[in-house]
Amino acid sequence: MDNNSYDKGSIVFALDIGTRSVIGILGSYRDKKIVIHHSAIEFHQNRAMFDGQIHDIEEVASIVGKVKSQLEVKAGFTLKEVAIAAAGRALKTQRIEIEKELDENKSIDRHLVNSIEIEGLQMAKLQLEERDAETTNYFCVGHTVINYFLNNGIITNPVGHRGRSLKMDILATFLPHVVVDSLYTVMNKVGLEVTYMTLEPIAAIEVAVPQSIRLLNIAMVDIGAGTSDIAITKDGAVVAYGMTSTAGDELTEAIAKNYLLDFDTAEAVKCQLCQKEYQHFTDILGMQHEIPTETVLEAIQPAIKTIAKDIASNILLQNEKAPSAIFLIGGGSQIPFLNEEVANLLEMPKERVVVRGTEIIQNLNQENLLVVGPEGITPVGILVKALENQSRDFIEINVNGKEIKLFQSKKLKVSDALVLIGFNPRDLIPKRGKTITVMVNGKEKSFYGEYGVAAEIYVNRLTSSLDSPIKGGDTINILPAKQGKDALCSLKDVVDLNTLVEMNGNHVKLVHQLTLNGEAMTENVPLKDGDIISYKMFKTVEELCHQLNIKYNDKVIYINGKVANLFDFIKDHDKIELIDMLEVEESENIVEEEIIEEENVQREMVWQKNEVLEEIESSEEAISLIYNGRPLTIPKTKTEMIFVDIFDYVDFDRYQLKGKLILLHNGENANYVQPLMDGDEIVVKWDTPDRQH
């Protein structure tokens, strides 16, 4: 089938608006191949574009109109829709560090990391807006966290850890809204509706770096006239963008200066460096020259090195190391020896820095493509992106009632939307209630507030999170996090005001000289942050005696009834007595007399027992018993002896209660009138808790 035979409904109009030219392509899919049906190119007559940004809307609209008209004539129908791309050279890169204090008692979760990341991106966006007064807003089209720092030490993944602080080093790339807006304005002026929009580096990567190898760390460099645009792929996504202000014009200017040429003549010489062995040109003095290409290259070698150095430095800035491979595209990529210079600077094998042209695009029929080679990568990429993607790279969503536009350079999440809308990330983190920190005798003591309630996130009314994916038309609603209750504490929480001892019958508090912020205090009061509490506490008997002006010479000290000394520690509810030594001696004499009297009583009892035993031994009748585990013989003074008679022969006081009275007769509870027989076992005792009787 003829390439010019097609269903116009399947045709896509792709437009590449560059600094020097505007390229238009009509293409479609046919039998799983990309077919270019028609193409057209027009060059800007004036400097209507600078670094990929439209400065003269009317002039650019005029050139776009000419390309559109040429293609309509070739195709035979009116073009109403178009796919376009914003220039990568308009991208702005911003590096930012953000650090946050953490609650050391709580583990870091993904929600907290995302919130800090959002705040960092918003800080980067704000710094760009302050620096570039001519722009008012930006799309964040890509970012990467270069490093995490936990307590100032590098860590790969902070989730699950605990620490005092978390810092992030973030590299973010932004596209000014004005670039997108001006492109839409130009399209409206020529009667075209934008049905698909992407970024030039994204479009170029679509065909120069297939998805199958995008897991690798690859740098793609689009070397144009005024700038060199850089995009970095890793883990299946474009993670960073960069731009250098040195490119093909650097060589044009070097040729012009060396050989006294006007800019257009020097540009023509530059474009023929890869095609001819000798360069023929006329300088501004009218002199004709025929110079070997090798000589021209030697003259402009410093400029080639400058371009290579800037590209290598920017790749390292975005990627922090040499990538696995580098693909060079764009007209400037054909500069002789440029790939080798870049490889040397990055210490890479030169075969890993290669120039990519349209010939490497799989399944491409480029028969009708006017611009082939490295220059054709971007326009074909825009076409392919438009053909393959059902959704735009720019999508619209609603966040808390506000319509916003997002650039879909990756799988977008809720967190990406919050960066653009300016949602305060601190409203995502449940704040702990205020902490009260006081100084107690020179030492810091903190009382923590309660943890708050996390923010609630809904996507299309379904409970979601910051990592939830979003798509065009989604509605996001966020209820801010709620702060926890503030800490509450009072004086009694830091000082035990009720600690006391008994001193010679008087109750004395151990806490004394208590002050709050320098004022004497005796009762419990609420504390506030920053309060200073000071107090002293009696620790020994000596300190207590000094405070109460009690003389302790010639005193005997008792603590809880036990003899103690001056330097023994005292504690809550101790009973302390200080007694004159003379009273103690008199008391000891009385005790000694009582002991002597008791001994005499015991002797009398022994004598009485001996007399009883003698009577028993002389008596003809007696009863032999086992009393409390020991043998006991008592006289049989009457015909029938009963249990109660035992008390006439043993030393046991039944009338002064000392616990529970235990009476056993042959192992069973005794009966006072139960008869006594030879061999009976008798138990008579007091059963008390401390077993004292």
Q: Domains of the chain, with CATH numbers?
A: 390-486 (3.10.20.30), 491-584 (3.10.20.30), 622-693 (3.10.20.30)
The token pair that represents 459 in the structure block: 């996507």
pLDDT score for 589: 53
Q: Which of 69-78, 326-335, 370-379, 606-615 has the lowest mean pLDDT?
A: 606-615
What are 635's strand-pairing partners?
A: 622
Q: How far apart are CA 344 and CA 346, in angstroms?
A: 5
Q: What is the torsional sign of CA 555, 559, 564, 567? A: negative
pLDDT, tens digit (0-9, with 9 covering 90-100), for 106-126: 889 888 888 888 888 888 888
Closest CA to 52 of 216, 176, 220, 202: 176
Residue 433 has pLDDT above 60, yes or no: yes
pLDDT score for 622: 85
pLDDT score for 691: 46
Q: How far apart are CA 324 and CA 198, in angstroms?
A: 25
Residue 410 has pLDDT above 80, yes or no: no
* Average of per-residue pLDDT across 404-408: 75
Residue 3 has pLDDT above 70, yes or no: no
Give the CA-trace dihedral at 254, 257, 258, 262, to 10 degrees: 100
* Average of per-residue pLDDT across 358-363: 82
Question: Are the CB atoms for 236 and 214 separated by under 8 Å?
Answer: yes
pTM over 0.85: no
Neighbour tally for 205: CB within 10 Å? 25
CA angle 309, 200, 250 (to 5 degrees): 35
Question: Are the CB atoms for 564 and 570 separated by under 8 Å?
Answer: no
Residue 630 has pLDDT above 80, yes or no: yes
Residue of 322 and 602 predicted with greater confidence: 322
What are 13's strand-pairing partners?
A: 26
Residue 25, classified by CB atoms within 10 Å of its CB into exposed (0-12), middle (13-18) or buried (19+), is: buried
Q: Which of 36-50, 87-101, 129-143, 296-310 has the lowest mean pLDDT?
A: 129-143
Q: How far apart are CA 351 and CA 358, in angstroms?
A: 19
Considering the chain, what is the average pLDDT of its residues?
83
Residue of 105 and 475 predicted with greater confidence: 475
Q: Which of 42-56, 77-91, 137-151, 432-446 has the lowest mean pLDDT?
A: 42-56
Residue of 555 and 278 predicted with greater confidence: 278
pLDDT, tens digit (0-9, with 9 covering 90-100), for 148-170: 999 999 998 999 999 999 999 98
154's CB contacts (< 8 A; 6+ apart) are: 147, 148
pLDDT, tens digit (0-9, with 9 covering 90-100), for 663-688: 899 988 888 788 989 889 999 888 76
Put residue 350 in one of left, alpha, beta given phi > 0 → left and psi -120 to 50 → alpha.
Answer: alpha
Residue 380 has pLDDT above 70, yes or no: yes
pLDDT score for 655: 60
pLDDT score for 611: 57
Q: Which of 13-27, 393-407, 535-549, 561-575 has the lowest mean pLDDT?
A: 393-407
Closest CA to 148 of 121, 122, 170: 170
Q: What is the torsional sign of CA 670, 673, 674, 677? A: positive
Closest CA to 186 of 92, 93, 87, 89: 87
pLDDT score for 480: 87
Estimate the crossing angle of helix 377-388 against helix 200-208, to 10 degrees. Answer: 90
543's CB contacts (< 8 A; 6+ apart) are: none
Residue 95 has pLDDT above 90, yes or no: no
pLDDT score for 693: 38
Q: What is the DSSP letter of 450?
A: P
Residue 571, classified by CB atoms within 10 Å of its CB into exposed (0-12), middle (13-18) or buried (19+), is: exposed
pLDDT above 90 covers what percent of the chain? 26
Which of the listed ranges 209-218, 343-352, 505-514, 551-560 does the model predict with the highest average pLDDT?
A: 343-352
The token pair that represents 130 in the structure block: 């302050």
pLDDT score for 148: 92
Residue of 568 and 292 predicted with greater confidence: 292
Closest CA to 326 of 314, 272, 336: 314
pLDDT score for 590: 53
pLDDT score for 1: 44
Closest CA to 204 of 179, 182, 232: 232
Residue 595 has pLDDT above 60, yes or no: no
Closest CA to 418 of 484, 468, 482: 468
Give the CA-trace dihedral at 288, 293, 295, 297, to 10 degrees: 120
The string of DSSP codes covering 262-330 is -HHHHHHHHHTTTT-SEEEEE-TTS-EEEEEHHHHHHHTHHHHHHHHHHHHHHHHHHHSS--SEEEEES
Residue 7 has pLDDT above 70, yes or no: no
Residue 596 has pLDDT above 80, yes or no: no
